[in-house]
Chains A and B, each alone.
Chain A
Amino acid sequence: MNETVVLKDLQINAGDNILVNKTSIVIEEGEIFGLVGESGSGKTLTAKAIINLLPKGLSYSADEIITAGKNMLTASAEEKKEHIGKNIGYIPQNTVFYLHPMIKIKNQIGDGYVYHMHKTKKEALEKAEALLYKVGFKYPKIVLNYYPWQLSGGMRQRCNIAMALMNDPKLIIADEPTTALDSTVQRQVMDLFRTINEEMKLSILLISHNLGLVKHYSHSLAVMYAGQIVESGYTNTVFSNPKHPYTRLLIEIIPSFKIKKDERLAEIPGLAAENGRDIKGCVFFKRCPKAMDICKEMVAEHIDDKHDHYYRCNLK
């Protein structure tokens, strides 16, 4: 199989503070890859490193970053910009200001297409119309003439999805695409992702803190904790046989309808560490119910033979 994204040993620093450490991801062509973790675990930063969108002031290093077939570590700034604009679609978290509030949809949806594909604005609008129809607008012409703030949250998110699809990208990065949407719309948007993934054979990097959502929609996933990937593999494998205590706890606390009246939702005690993400031992040590003395000193990495299940833990 071909890989759309190969990321090896990524480290992101803000000055002396390490935000993301020893992170490796492989996204196969045509798969939905879920990246799960708590807020501040480094999911978004990892995704932004892949598409060269890290905020100023952060530095990063990696052994390898290949995004849609291009080595991001050796490409010039101009090449990176061009390659990402052409091949990557980005669907952001909250869409209120990701669409420019003062520009009509028709004037911002197609500008990347016009610029990279050397098309006229008319062709761009025709394509935009078709895509807007595809993402569920019955009257795309009317939507094109709206300003973003005249649309609802779900409509804006669908505009963003259509915009991300304009250049027929190889990869879509969806950064918590369903936050701030209610659950019905959330479902619609996620089903749309699945349809796009199946019809267009493109890879999707789905960033989410909602493990239930990722379980349902992704082919593979990685669980991030405090800037590190603690477990990754095929979704089925990870869910049927979770190895890392953090993953197990996360799976246990997925809310279900079996919950009794007045019963509190389960939680993992403690907070993710903000500092000291570069320690030799396990980053989950302080919150781990099965912590052993050795976890302070070192942490073992396990990869099974078929390379489809990885975890960092001293437990066997």
Chain B
Amino acid sequence: MLSYILDRLKSSIVVLFVVSVITFFVLMIIPGNPAQLILGTDATPEAIQELHAAMGLDRPLYQQYLSWLLDLFTLDMGSSYVYGESVTALIARSIPVTFSISIFAMVMAVFIAFLFGIISAIKKNSIADYFSRSIMQLGAAIPSFWIGMVFIVYFGIKLRILPVSGFVPIEQSFAGFIKSILLPSVVLAIGEVGTLLRIIRSSMLDSLKQDYMDMARVKGLSTGKTYIKYALRGALTAPLTIIGMQFAKLAGGTVVVETIFALPGLGRMVLTAVEHRDIVLLQGLVMFITSTVIIITLIVDISVMYLNPRIKSFQQGEL
């Protein structure tokens, strides 16, 4: 188990290194002079030249890369041109926004998807099954910007019970925090629930057909034991992987939803950085998002291994 985790960590470091090289060089060779962008079109060529040198942009690329990489180890990712603040501080500030709506959305999606996925697999072709299948269709078909707008109009403007935009930090007011993340989370959850429900339903259907279900039935166990201990246990691997992928996707920033609800999250920041060619900020964000995805994937893989120990033996060469 430990050796597997260490192995995965080693390969994660390689991935991060490759990502850092690609991010740095691709962004650096994009045309456009950051010094020019900062100073504007009215600046004299001398002033631009001076700033260019001050920012270290006249050094060879590999030198710039190495100093950037070394700074990365101390969590110093430079400072943003647009915000004039350190990238680390900016990311740290938007993490609570993006992570709280992502976590909240995933909790809702997971709960609903498991509830209806399990019921619709057990009671195939029942009313509950048709209902679940409509959830799948709707979740896949409704664009999040549209449902977000509908929510804003209905809950924010017509009923006036929820704020239409902005983020309230949890330490400021708990009720305010919940209210501010509720609508965006629901919108995100609607986007994810369909896929997850589909996977849970089909894994459950598959598990219900397995021979061990015959055994559980012949043992005459209670319905709960039969379906949860035997059927669901055999059906967890695929949904868990999907949950990890979905969460990793959301945690990397949700541009559309953050924009609609004017939330200062990671997705908005990526957008701003791209719009303003804030290369330093963009490099920092890409590195951060990549690390997040790698960590989440690692956690998911370890949980899957725990659930399905055959994978562990396979890794260790027992099988």
User: Which B residues touch A5, using CB under 8 A?
Assistant: none
| Chain B, range 303-319, C-beta contacts under 8 Å to A | 307-310, 313, 319
Stretch at the interface among A79-87, A181-189, A263-271: A79-87
Which A-chain residue is minimally distant from B233 (CB atoms)? A102
Q: Are A51 and B233 in contact (CB under 8 A)?
A: no
Q: Are the CB atoms of B221 and A112 closer together than 8 Å?
A: yes
B 276-319 binary contact with A (CB < 8 Å = 1; else 0): 00000000000000000000000000000001111001000001
8 Å CB interface, A134-185 against B: 147, 149-150
CB under 8 Å from chain A, chain B span 192-222: 210-212, 214-215, 217-222
* A99–B310 CA distance with the chains assembled, in angstroms: 14
Pair B215/A99 contact, Cβ less than 8 Å: yes
Query: Within 8 Å CB of B218, what residues of A?
Result: 51, 53, 84-85, 88, 90
Contact A115 B221 (CB under 8 A): yes
Chain B, 205-263, CB within 8 A of any chain A CB: 210-212, 214-215, 217-222, 225, 229-230, 233-234
Contacts A111-B225, A147-B310 known; A98 to B214 CB distance under 8 Å?
yes
* Min C-beta distance of B302 to chain A, whole Å: 16
C-alpha spacing A141/B215, complex, angstroms:
23
State whether the Cβ of A239 lies closer than 8 Å to any Cβ in chain B.
no
A98 and B225 in contact (CB under 8 A), knowing A53-B217, A88-B218, A116-B220? no
> What CA separation (Å) do A116 and B307 show in the bound complex?
27
- Known A-B contacts A102-B234, A102-B307, A102-B308; the reply to A97 vs B211 at CB < 8 A is yes
Q: How far is the CB of A83 from chain B (nearest CB, A)?
A: 8
Q: How far is the CB of A161 from chain B (nearest CB, A)?
A: 13
B230: nearest chain-A partner, CB-CB: A100
Tell yes or no: A303 within 8 A of B by CB.
no
Q: Enumerate chain B residues within 8 angstroms of A88, measured Cβ to Cβ.
A: 218
CA distance A159 to B249 in the complex (A): 44
Given contacts A92-B214, A115-B222, A115-B225, contact A100 B234 (CB under 8 A): yes
| CB pair A81 B230 closer than 8 Å | no
Instruction: Give the complex CA separation of A82 and B230 in angstroms.
Output: 18
Mark each residue of chain A from 70 to 94: 1 if its CB lies under 8 Å from any CB of chain B, else 0.
0000000000011111101010101
Chain A: minimal CB distance from B14 (Å): 31
A232 to chain B, nearest CB (A): 25
With both beta carbons as reference points, the residue of chain B lying nearest to A83 in the complex is identified as B220
Residue in chain A with minimal CB distance to B220 = A85
- Bound CA span A92–B307, Å: 25
- CA A81 to CA B220, docked complex, whole Å: 5
Interface size on B, residues (CB 8 A): 22
Residue pair A149, B217 in contact (C-beta under 8 Å): no
Whether A86 contacts B211 by the Cβ 8 Å rule is no
Chain A's nearest CB lies how many Å from the CB of B223?
9
Q: Is A14 an interface residue (CB 8 A)?
A: no
Known: A85-B219, A102-B234. A97 touches B309 (CB 8 A): no
Contact A101 B234 (CB under 8 A): yes
Residues of chain B with a CB closer than 8 A to A101's CB: 212, 234, 310
Given contacts A102-B233, A102-B234, contact A111 B211 (CB under 8 A): no
Q: Please report the C-alpha to C-alpha distance between residue A94 and residue B215 in the assembled complex, in whole angstroms.
A: 12
Of the residues B211, B215, B220, B225, contact of A84 by C-beta under 8 Å: B220
From residue A295, how far is it (CB to closest CB) to chain B in Å? 38
A6 → chain B closest CB, angstroms: 20
Q: Kindly state whether residue A103 has any CB partner on chain B within 8 Å.
A: yes
Nearest CB of chain A from residue B190's CB, rounded to whole Å: 31
A24 CA to B288 CA, complexed, in Å: 72
Expressed in whole angstroms, the minimum distance between the Cβ of A92 and any Cβ of chain B is: 6
A149 and B310: CB pair below 8 A?
yes
**Residues in A neighbouring B313, C-beta threshold 8 A:** 150
Q: In the complex, A84 Cα to B221 Cα: how many Å?
A: 10
Interface centre among A53, A88, A100 (most CB of B within 10 A): A100
Cα–Cα distance between A53 and B215 once the two chains are bound (Å): 10
Please give the distance in Å from B23's CB to the nearest CB on chain A: 40
B-chain residues with CB within 8 Å of residue A51 when the two chains form the complex: 218
Q: Which residues of A contact B212 (CB under 8 A)?
A: 97-101
Q: How many whole Å from B125's CB to the nearest CB in chain A?
A: 11
Residues 99-122 of A contacting B (Cβ, < 8 Å): 99-103, 111-112, 115-116
Whether B220 contacts A97 by the Cβ 8 Å rule is no
Contact residue among A102, A103, A115 (Cβ-Cβ distance under 8 Å from B220): A115
Cβ–Cβ contact B219 & A111, under 8 A: yes
CA distance A83 to B220 in the complex (A): 8
Chain A neighbourhood of B234, CB < 8 A? 100-102
CA–CA, A88 and B210, complex, Å: 20
- Shortest Cβ distance from A281 into chain B, in angstroms? 35
- Residues of A contacting B215 in the complex (Cβ-Cβ under 8 angstroms): 90, 92, 98-100
**In whole angstroms, how far apart are the Cα atoms of A83 and B219 in the complex?**
10
List the 10 closest pairs (A to B, CB-CB), nearest first.
A85-B220, A112-B219, A97-B211, A90-B218, A100-B212, A81-B220, A98-B211, A98-B215, A85-B219, A97-B210
Residues of B within 8 A of A (CB): 210-212, 214-215, 217-222, 225, 229-230, 233-234, 307-310, 313, 319
Q: List 22 A-B contacts (CB under 8 A).
A: A53-B214, A53-B217, A83-B220, A84-B218, A85-B218, A85-B219, A85-B220, A97-B211, A98-B212, A98-B214, A99-B215, A101-B212, A103-B233, A111-B219, A111-B221, A111-B225, A111-B229, A115-B220, A115-B225, A116-B220, A147-B309, A149-B310
Other A-B pairs, 6, CB within 8 Å; known A86-B220, A92-B214: A85-B218, A90-B214, A103-B233, A111-B221, A111-B229, A150-B313
